[in-house]
Structure 1
Amino acid sequence: MSTRGLIIAAPASGSGKTTVALGLARALRQRGLTVQPFKSGPDYIDPTFLTAAAGRDCFNLDSWAMKPGQIAALAGAAAGADLALAEGSMGLFDGVALSGATGTGATADIAALLGWPVVLVLDVSGQAQTAAAVAQGLARFRPAVRVAGVVLNRVASPRHEALLRAGMAEAGLAVFGALPRNTAVAVPERHLGLVQAAELPRLEALLDDVARLIGQHCDLDALVAAASAGPAPAVAAMSVSPPGRRIALARDEAFSFLYPHMLAGWRAAGAEILPFSPLADEPPPEAADVCWLPGGYPELHAGVVAGAGHFLEGLRRFAATRAVHGECGGYMVLGAALVDASGARHAMAGLLGLVTSFAQRRMHLGYRRAVLAAPMPGHVAGAVLAGHEFHYASILAQPDAPLAAVTDATGAVMPETGSRRGLVSGSFFHLITADA
């Protein structure tokens, strides 16, 4: 039987989904409930906060990149938990124009597939009864998506709350809580979204503060009672092939963006993970047969990476005999140079000819489908990979042979093809799943 779940969604980004999801996960955990967190879409940051709040690994559920059975397999992580709690992305029905494996990447796809009801978080600033019309429209837009009720956010006064509740009663929607406009609880932001959970020295205190806010202003019992589950879809393999049997994995503040389901899939397939820290000037462990450099924020640590002689020399020695792959920030570090936001140029590993610059900022954001032109660790030539790209770096040089033919979610050809040279490969997209 499927675990009962809830999806925390909203009409738009910035409505307060993360605050409610984090606070609810931590508050229920403090009550002794086991909460299994999920994140709809390809976000890298929110899952780290949800993991910390719930005390269990948070997995991404992505309807564009993943097939229904793959989503069901990941949702199975909630087996034995008291509640599955998924945070949505953007607006409830927001996705790309063309459908992928299961849908458009919208949170609503996950709600329809798994049968988890939606709790809408509404930013009610500057409106009263009209908020009910918005919520009612969302509740009726797609019959397969059930809206259980709402949490009102940024409520200005008791009078404001009374008007909002009256509107919701007329619309036939339950109100699970009302959060005040003025609150000191906030998670700091950075150009790729939120600051990473591990970077906040007050993380536990912050999560406790958010839990206290939600506990004081929301009906936790009613929220738990609203959870339910639909018929479980047939489970299929997640198509996660480990890049090697013993994987040297860069893990620190500069190399932290790796989807949890990828790491779990590697381990489930029998791979051994050997973590090391480039920022601590550690080379890849010699016992490994492949090295993987995830993305992160290398531009914030470019000087440290450039000065990490043991790491760079060890990486070059490793690449002479064994495969090395980098994703996004890891790809940039494999290149010849990285220009930071101030215009300073930092020499990188030089295993590829890539030169990137943050002095010439341009957002690169969206789903990517890649057909490999040559093998990369874990995947053969011709394999079709689905991933996501999000960075602000500009390419100044990309002289090596392309790793793949890459298109976005509309089918448009992307110039960010990745690169390969010898045993070294890299891409700007973060791998989510593969067809082969």
Structure 2
Amino acid sequence: MPPPGVIIAAPASGSGKTTLTLGLLAALRARGVAVAAAKVGPDYIDPGFHAAATGRPGVNLDGWAMPPALLDALVVRAGAGADLVVCEGVMGLFDGAAGPGPGGTGSTADIAMRTGWPVVLVVDVRGQSHSAAALVRGFAGHRPGVRIAGVVLNAVGSPRHRAMVEEAMAETGIPVLGALPRDPSLSLPERHLGLVQAEETAGLAGHLERLGRLVAAHVDPGRVVALAAPAAVATAGAAARGPAVRPFGQRIAVARDIAFAFAYPHLLDGWRRAGAELLFFSPLADEPPPADADAAFLPGGYPELHAGRLAAAARWRDGLRAFAATRPVYGECGGYMAMGATLEDADGTVHPMAGLLGVRTSFARRRLHLGYRWARLLADAPPGPAGSVLTGHEFHYATTVDTGGDAPLFACTAADGTDLGPVGGRRGLAAGSFIHLVAGPVG
């Protein structure tokens, strides 16, 4: 049976989910609880913070892009060897995509219904008192099958403020598990795609320790643990469930450093479980792909912040080009940009990239691209044969200045059915796009 779990959700983004989640993880670990963590949705930054707080790999549970069998398998794997799973939600509790995917709308509520895990709702009570109870009452009755088992108040201004909110909350019958004070120092540094990566956050261990002490002082972790319930998912065959996306080779060279850190944990873990060997290398350290690999993968990340260093890394660029002459190279988002001809940084400086593809991208001409994607392969490529449909997610500010004559890789459709046309590029054994693949083939 999977270990018990609980979901940390909120009425809206910015309510304090991450603060409570990290503090709770740190507090429980300090008490000797073997706690694991999961993140709802396609976020590739929060799982890194979860891993730092728990000492265990984080995992994404994506109710839009992942089919039910994959979700169930990941729920089981997330809790393997743990006493408890704490799952951080995404956006507001009921917020999801404009159209359904293989697993649902992608909302935190979808995961709550799939797993049966109870929800602890974090409510930012700035500017309100008794109205917070009305909000919680509405959320509790909005969708049958989603159980709000407790509330944590965030940004409480004073003891009197807390007392007023709790007085009104008592009428809902939903217990208040604690109240966090207003404290701007609790915030983690951010950049254009969200939080600065865990690997780059100075003093992270100390910050997590402070969050753990704060939550232990203002929220009773024991009461949260007592609310948790075992996941009501199909466990049969979970261990044998195949990889979310087929391995790109038997020995896969994977770029890994602060410029190429956005590889989904479930993707890499699935490849290992399928028998593939992962060989990591750092483009920023001017390392080429290992010569004994039979495929290379450049995940997303922040190449736009390190374009000068990548342009100066001649050994990496030459080695990648030599590798691509005989073996497939696949890139996602930042990895795709680094495989192109040039990358223009925020200051307008144009840097030469690896040149495996002709695409030219710009971070100076910023425009947000965000949303789930259906992606149908237009030719055979590392993720699958031509015609395969995969699910993925796009989140970046870069603009394609010129495709460079590359043949498109995918025919792409948004979650709401909007035809986005051909995207990505392929040239010889090199292929990539801005889409972060989550699962597939689908259907």
Structure 1 segments unaligned to the other structure (5+ residues): none
1:176 match: 177
Inter-CA distance 230–336: structure 2 relative to 1 (3 Å threshold)? closer
Amino acid at match of 2:13: S
Is the 8 Å Cα contact of residues 245 and 441 (structure 2) preserved in structure 1?
no
Using a 3 Å threshold, how does the CA distance of structure 1 residues 305 and 230 change in structure 2: closer, same or farther?
closer
2:438 aligned residue = 432
What is aligned with 2:384? 379
Q: Which residue of 2 aligns with 1:274?
A: 279
CA contact (8 A) 1:416 1:427 kept: no
- Measured at CA, do residues 183 and 302 of structure 1 come closer, stay the same or move farther in structure 2, by a change above 3 Å? closer
Q: CA deviation at 1:353?
A: 0.9
Normalising by structure 2, report the TM-score.
Answer: 0.97
1:50 maps to what in 2? 50
SS in 2 for 1:284: coil
TM-score normalised by length of structure 1: 0.98
Partner of residue 98, structure 1: 99
1:296 to 291, 294, 301: 301
2:112 corresponds to which residue?
111
* 1:19 aligned partner, one-letter code: T
Does residue 364 (structure 1) correspond to residue 365 (structure 2)? The answer is no
> Could you say which residue in structure 2 is the equivalent of 1:61?
61
Aligned to 1:156: 157
Q: Give matches, 1:175-324, under 5 Å.
A: 175-233=176-234, 235=238, 236-324=241-329
Does residue 355 (structure 1) correspond to residue 360 (structure 2)? The answer is yes
Structure 1 contact 303–346 (Cα < 8 Å) conserved: yes
SS at match of 2:306: helix
Q: Answer yes or no: is the 8 Å Cα contact 2:40–2:111 preserved in 1.
A: yes
Per-residue CA deviation, residues 124-179 of structure 1 (Å, 9 max, x unaligned), is: 00000100111111111111000011100000000000001011101111111100
The amino acid that maps onto 2:429 is: L
Instruction: State how far apart, in whole Å, the 2-side matches of 1:264 and 1:207 are.
Output: 26
1:411 paired to 2:411? no
2 CA distance for matches of 1:351 and 1:283?
A: 14
| Kept in 2: contact 1:294–1:329 (CA 8 A) | yes
Percent pairwise identity: 58
Gaps of 5+ in 2: none
Deviates more, 1:79-88 or 1:329-338: 79-88
| 1:6 alignment partner, SS class | strand
- C-alpha spacing 1:21/1:405, structure 2 compared with 1 (3 Å): same
Partner of 2:125: 124
Contact 2:406 2:425 in 1 (8 A): yes
- Amino acid paired to 1:74: L
In 2: Cα distance, 1:147 partner to 1:413 partner: 37
Whole-Å separation in 2 of the counterparts to 1:188 and 1:153: 19
* Contact 1:68-1:233 within 8 A present in 2 as well: no
* Helix, strand or coil at the partner of 1:135: helix
| 2:162 partner letter | E
Map residues 390-405 of structure 1 onto 2, 5 A cutoff.
Answer: 390-398=395-403, 399-405=405-411
Partners of 1:239 and 1:54 in 2: CA distance? 24
Secondary structure, in 3 states, of the residue corresponding to 2:358? Answer: coil
Q: What's the CA shift for 1:415?
A: 4.7
**TM-fit CA distance, 1:183:** 4.8
CA distance in 2, matches of 1:198, 1:322: 30
- Measure, in 1, the Cα distance between the counterparts of 2:344 and 2:184: 39
In structure 2, distance between residues paired with 1:199 and 1:338: 22
| Matched pairs, number | 436
Distance in 1, Cα, partners of 2:319 & 2:184: 49
CA contact (8 A) 1:244 1:378 kept: no
- In the aligned structure 2, how far is the partner of 1:176 from the partner of 1:416? 50
1:57-80 deviation digits (Å, cap 9, x = unpaired): 111001111111111100012033
Whole-angstrom distance in 1 between the partners of 2:7 and 2:159? 27
Would the alpha carbon gap of residues 416 and 161 (structure 1) be closer, same or farther in structure 2, given more than 3 Å must change? farther
CA drift at 1:185: 1.6
**RMSD of aligned residue pairs (Cα, Å):** 1.1
The CA distance in 1 between the partners of 2:234 and 2:11, in whole Å, is 27
Preserved CA contact (<8 Å) 2:15 2:124: yes
SS at match of 2:387: coil
1:423 to 2:429 alignment: yes
Would you say the 8 A contact 2:4–2:84 is kept in 1?
yes
One-letter code of the match for 2:91? M
